[in-house]
């Protein structure tokens, strides 16, 4: 029987093994479970992830910690860095009502570059998990030495997962006082993660924030509406409309970034970004009536993945 082209490569695709380390009670089990919720292999298993127990050889570590770094955390990180393996930090199980993301992120990034702010509250939306999972996939694809074009294809489901998670969060944030600030912060965080997913290089949040003004200029009414709404008290119908606009704008912005990176463009190519954003906006506006009609599904990540797929990769 004739083998399909590339079958030997697929069968030989190695497993990229990951070990979660950290003190007891920081949420390692919950985080590992959340990371496994999405298939850990894509594109006929070009790259495969596996999570291993302690004392088993691995290819990467995820150091899981709670809250701000301590002296003990510093010692553990320093020891892990001597192993010479890929290392990620998950500042996990934060108190979202008290801990300020910027403060936590700034504190950890003084110790390590690849930091993910994660949380897996019961019966609520996980945060930061999509981004960490995508970073693991990027490392796995590099480990497997996958051709660039096929690697980009394999990354699409993970990019859509990041975007859907951000859309779900911004739909909720659109209902809050000061919505614009929350929405922009969520978009910037997702841009950083998408950039790492496609390039293997880390983009600081400040750099991601710097990309957003160009989109705001193109978006006009949508962004102005959100900014005006952020200074108003909750108004019922208007809040729901703002939530829909927030999610739609998020998909347009992040869809543009994803499309550009998927095509191999630099984010410095402003004309390409603006042209792509206009297309994304047109598609997202065409979907807004359907989005409004599916208001009951706004808390489903799978729904926002469907919408994002239609807009970004029609």
Task: Tell me the pTM.
Answer: 0.75
Q: Is 57 in the same domain as 75? A: yes
Choosing from 146, 176, 196, the residue where a domain stops is 146
**156 and 212 inside one domain:** yes
Residues 142 and 159 in one domain: no
Lookup result for tokens 């996958």? 146
pLDDT of residue 143: 77
Residues 155 and 283 in one domain: yes
- Rounded Cα distance, 83 and 81, in Å: 5
Q: Among the three residues 100, 127, 146, which one is the final residue of a domain in this structure? A: 146
Are residues 152 and 270 both part of a single domain? yes
Is the residue at 235 inside a domain? yes
Query: What's residue 144's pLDDT?
Result: 72
Residues 170 and 305 in one domain: yes
Domain that holds residue 33: 15-146
Q: Is residue 5 part of a domain?
A: no
Domain count along the chain: 2
- 180, 74: one domain: no
Answer yes or no: do 152 and 296 share one domain.
Answer: yes
At 233 the pLDDT is 54
For residue 152, is it within any domain? yes
Residue 73 sits in the same domain as residue 222: no
pLDDT for 3 equals: 41
Would residue 2 count as lying in a domain? no
The answer to whether residue 139 sits within a structural domain is yes
The tens place of each residue's pLDDT in the chain, 314 residues long, gives: 444 434 344 444 567 889 999 988 888 988 988 888 765 445 545 667 788 877 778 999 999 998 888 899 999 999 999 998 999 999 886 665 555 677 788 888 888 888 888 888 876 777 888 888 888 888 888 777 767 777 788 788 889 989 999 999 888 877 777 777 778 888 888 898 899 888 888 787 788 888 887 776 666 555 545 554 554 556 666 677 778 888 888 999 999 999 999 998 888 888 888 888 889 988 988 888 898 889 899 988 889 999 999 999 98
Asked whether residue 115 falls in the same domain as residue 166, the answer is no
Same domain, 141 and 178: no
235 and 291, same domain (yes or no): yes
**CATH number of the domain encompassing residue 123:** 3.40.50.300
In a domain, 163, yes or no: yes
Which of 281, 294, 305 shows the shortest CA–CA distance to 130?
305
Residue 14 has what pLDDT? 63
């Amino acid at each position: 029987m004739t083998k399909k082209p590339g079958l030997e490569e697929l069968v030989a695709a190695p497993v990229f093994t990951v070990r979660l380390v950290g003190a007891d009670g920081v949420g390692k089990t919950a985080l590992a479970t959340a990371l496994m919720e999405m298939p850990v292999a894509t594109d006929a298993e070009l790259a495969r992830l596996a999570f291993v127990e302690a004392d088993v050889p691995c290819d990467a570590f995820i150091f899981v910690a709670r809250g701000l770094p301590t002296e003990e955390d510093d010692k553990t990180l320093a020891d892990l860095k001597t192993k010479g393996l890929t290392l990620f930090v998950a500042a996990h199980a934060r108190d979202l009502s008290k801990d300020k993301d910027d403060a936590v992120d700034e504190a950890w990034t003084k110790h390590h570059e690849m930091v993910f702010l994660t949380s897996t509250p019961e019966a609520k939306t996980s945060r930061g998990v999509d981004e960490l999972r995508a970073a693991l996939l990027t490392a796995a694809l590099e480990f497997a030495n996958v051709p660039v074009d096929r690697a980009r294809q394999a990354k699409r489901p993970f990019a859509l997962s990041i975007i859907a998670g951000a859309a779900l969060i911004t739909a909720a944030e659109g209902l809050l006082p000061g919505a614009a600030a929350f929405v922009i912060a969520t978009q910037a965080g997702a841009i950083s993660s998408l950039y790492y997913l496609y390039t293997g290089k880390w983009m600081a949040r400040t750099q991601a924030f710097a990309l957003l003004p160009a989109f705001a200029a193109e978006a006009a009414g949508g962004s102005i509406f959100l900014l005006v709404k952020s200074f108003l008290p909750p108004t019922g119908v208007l809040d729901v409309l703002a939530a829909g606009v927030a999610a739609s704008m998020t998909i347009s912005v992040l869809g543009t970034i994803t499309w550009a990176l998927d095509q191999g463009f630099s984010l410095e190519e402003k004309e390409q970004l603006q042209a792509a954003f206009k297309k994304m906006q047109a598609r997202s506006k065409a979907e807004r009536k359907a989005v409004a009609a599916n208001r009951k599904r706004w808390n489903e990540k799978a729904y926002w993945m469907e919408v994002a797929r239609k807009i970004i990769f029609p």
